[in-house]
Structure 1
Amino acid sequence: MCRFLAWIGAPRFLDDFVLKADQSLVTQSRSALVGKTSLNADGFGLAWYADQETPCVYKDVHPAWSDENLKQIASHTRARLFLAHVRASTSTATSRNNCHPFSRGRWSFMHNGQVGGHLKLRQKLDGMIPLDCYDQRYGATDSEAIFLIAAGLGLDHAPISAMERAVGQVEMLSRERDYTPYMRFAACWSDGEKLYAARYASDRFVPSLFYQVHPDGIVLGSEPLDDDVTGWIEIAPGTAIATDGRTLDQTDFRPCHQDEASAMAASEYSAGG
């Protein structure tokens, strides 16, 4: 499993959370306190929004704690919105293309979790990515596939429901072949204006996800960045959030399963005559 964090609000230096916090992301890369694996050494990545509509992305395959370029970038870059991720691979190779965050146009995306039977489903997953999104398929991860499938399902117009449908479709693929665990999903994505996140699993082992409200913004994380127990709020399983750094809205996140999908298809067929 992986660890990630994101910030939206007044411009902050990336190293405030990536390096300087008590339980910073770099600290988590060596000794995560919440989650299945304490070591997250299979690469890292940053995506931040500055003066351009699209994010600037920097990622590499080194462990986060050993990369001097990461320290330089994080301590000299200030942004109103940024995502950061350290990776613990569940199946695919340690390569730059497999490191998070992924980006397409103005969107960035990062994920902690897994798709059951991913290596056996890779060809099917690739086939679910729309042709006009497939040129952005640089790596081989299930995470990138979910992101690009969501992009083809209307991420620009419905950021939460498009992701919900993408996760549901991928989970159904795993369920059909009974590759457990079908889906474990904690993710964060952004269009440069808002930050979105969701927490979900097909079993009881739901990847962790928290947020903390600051006077000048909101930070999300796979685990708290300090020991302020009352200051961190755990996002409930089956929940998605959307925030602009000032307000935070919550909604259900319920990827449709096979029976729901069949009912939807029947309804759409009937409505179409």
Structure 2
Amino acid sequence: MCRHVARVGPPLALGAVLTVPPHGLLRQSWAPRRQRHGTVNADGFGVGWYADGDPVPARYRRSGPVWGDQSFADLVRVVRSTTLLAAVRDATEPGADDEAAAAPFASGPWLFSHNGAVRGWPASLAPLARELPVEELLRLEARCDAALLWALVLRRLRDGDPPGQALADTVLEVAGAAPGSRLNLLVTDGTTIAATAWGDSLWSLVDEVAGTVVASEPYDDDPRWREVPDRTLLVADRAGVLLSPLKEPSR
């Protein structure tokens, strides 16, 4: 269910990560190599990036398959940034949210994506949703599981939790409420990347040109790619990657 990627490093054209590599996100939309659930990611796509001097990212999102959007091909060829987060979507279930359900979700300096599915959605997360202020529920961009996960993460970020802690606590809370869920979450603030491996593949690469890349799967066959173990929190910046184990919630 979905593929996503984030990178932080020297200024680079977005396409150098998304479309130029032989197995970049563009190709992963129809031929992912390591996706464990689903086969084609054609239910929307998006990319978010940061401009110099502006902490609030820009986004480009659409509801259809990325391979049919020539504007996207032009955009990623010419736009350069130090940080990006992009995703292609395989919807958990049918809906009418269109591009509003496509990652990255955003608020302030943050970009967010979810690769996976919440087991028993939406009933399983109703108790957690009731804990959110009504105003936050009314502001949800879409009615999909990823949008609610973003609301749960965002609440923690706004309370001052660092991104890694916000993701880890959200994953453990949701996994306790909906066992069997796949919760690969990804967030960036423009300088750091945090991600979880929980039920699907996650990889990282540290390279002088590309910077630090965190992705659902490698976009080429560089032997320096490292697979992140399942049930792991990853926190990364330009200097490298730090991994911490996540424990299954007690039942």
Same fold (TM over 0.5): yes
Aligned counterpart for 2:185 among listed residues 179, 184, 187:
187
**Residues 245-260 of structure 1 mapped to structure 2, 5 A cutoff:** 245-254=238-247, 256-258=249-251
Any conservation in 2 of the 1:13–1:79 contact (CA below 8 Å)?
Answer: yes
| One-letter amino acid matched to 2:195 | A
Distance apart, 1:124 and its partner CA:
4.0
Any conservation in 2 of the 1:61–1:96 contact (CA below 8 Å)?
Answer: yes
Identity across the alignment (%): 27
**Which of structures 1 and 2 has the larger relative contact order (alpha carbons within 8 angstroms, sep 6+)?**
2
2:115 aligns with: 112
Q: Which consecutive unaligned segments of at least 5 residues does structure 1 have?
A: 176-181, 201-205, 259-273
Distance 1:159 1:130, change over 3 A: farther
Distance 1:154 1:135, change over 3 A: same
Q: Give the Cα–Cα distance (whole angstroms) in 1 for the partners of residues 139 and 108 of structure 2.
A: 10
Any conservation in 2 of the 1:171–1:257 contact (CA below 8 Å)?
Answer: no
Aligned counterpart for 1:173 among listed residues 177, 186, 202:
177
Question: Does 2:66 match 1:64?
Answer: yes
2:86 aligns with: 84
Q: Any idea what SS the aligned residue of 1:219 has?
A: strand
Q: For 1:128-160, what per-residue CA distance to the aligned partner results, in whole angstroms no more than 9, with x for missing partners?
A: 434464353110121121121122134643222
Q: Give the Cα–Cα distance (whole angstroms) in 2 for the partners of residues 253 and 191 of structure 1.
A: 22
Q: Give the Cα–Cα distance (whole angstroms) in 1 for the partners of residues 141 and 92 of structure 2.
A: 18
TM-score (norm 1): 0.84
TM-score (norm 2): 0.91
2:19 aligns with: 19
| One-letter amino acid matched to 2:145 | D
- Structure whose residues are more often helix by fraction: 1
Aligned length: 246
Q: Give the Cα–Cα distance (whole angstroms) in 2 for the partners of residues 220 and 33 of structure 1.
A: 16
2:236 aligns with: 243
The structure with more radius of gyration? 1
Q: Give the Cα–Cα distance (whole angstroms) in 1 for the partners of residues 187 and 86 of structure 2.
A: 11
Q: For 1:82-114, what per-residue CA distance to the aligned partner results, in whole angstroms no more than 9, with x for missing partners?
A: 011000011242611111111111111111111
Q: Which consecutive unaligned segments of at least 5 residues does structure 2 have?
A: none
Distance apart, 1:47 and its partner CA:
0.8
Q: Any idea what SS the aligned residue of 2:182 has?
A: strand
